[in-house]
């Protein structure tokens, strides 16, 4: 039984991912400022020598939660600096950045169909779960 367990461990070790560790590089912290008034208000900011930066301001939210806003950035492997601005509040986490992909705008014919659907809905038209119209409005 011991031989079986030892064999299984040997197989897992050999079959597992192979890591090639290099010696870790020390990255200096250039700035580390923190403030907390113990009433829900805080601010922190830090920056490292390799381009990582974060600045966050927090305060009590309207509905008893916490509201935060700030920015952060870090270098990508291709050398570009990824820069982000965010707000986190009762409406959720909203982030803006030029590196976040955005959807393409709707083609003109699709925008026309959306506008027509909104007009029909305003006149009382309704649809079922499969998209079939179940209530016709006056004039349509």
For 13-54, how does the pLDDT look when each residue is reduced to its tens digit (9 = 90+)? 555 555 556 777 888 999 999 999 988 899 999 999 999 999
Residue ranges of alpha helices (H) inside 1-140 are 2-15, 108-122
Q: How far apart are the C-alpha atoms of 116 and 50, rounded to whole Å?
A: 52
pTM, rounded to two decimals? 0.57
* Residuewise pLDDT in 10s, the chain (140 residues): 455 555 555 555 555 555 556 777 888 999 999 999 988 899 999 999 999 999 999 999 887 888 999 999 999 999 889 999 999 998 899 999 998 888 888 899 988 988 988 898 888 888 888 878 786 655 55
């Amino acid at each position: 039984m011991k031989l079986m367990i030892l064999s299984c461990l040997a197989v897992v070790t050999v079959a597992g991912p192979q890591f090639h560790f290099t010696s870790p590089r020390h990255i200096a912290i250039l700035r580390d400022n923190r403030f907390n008034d113990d009433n829900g208000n805080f601010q922190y900011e830090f920056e490292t020598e390799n381009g990582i930066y974060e600045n966050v301001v927090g305060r009590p939210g309207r509905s008893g939660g916490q509201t935060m806003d700030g920015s952060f950035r870090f270098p990508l492997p291709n050398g570009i600096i990824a820069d982000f601005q965010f707000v986190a509040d009762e409406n959720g986490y909203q982030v803006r950045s030029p590196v976040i992909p955005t959807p393409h705008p709707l083609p003109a014919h699709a925008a026309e169909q959306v506008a027509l659907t909104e007009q029909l809905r305003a006149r009382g038209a309704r649809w079922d779960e499969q998209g079939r119209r179940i209530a016709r409005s006056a004039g349509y």
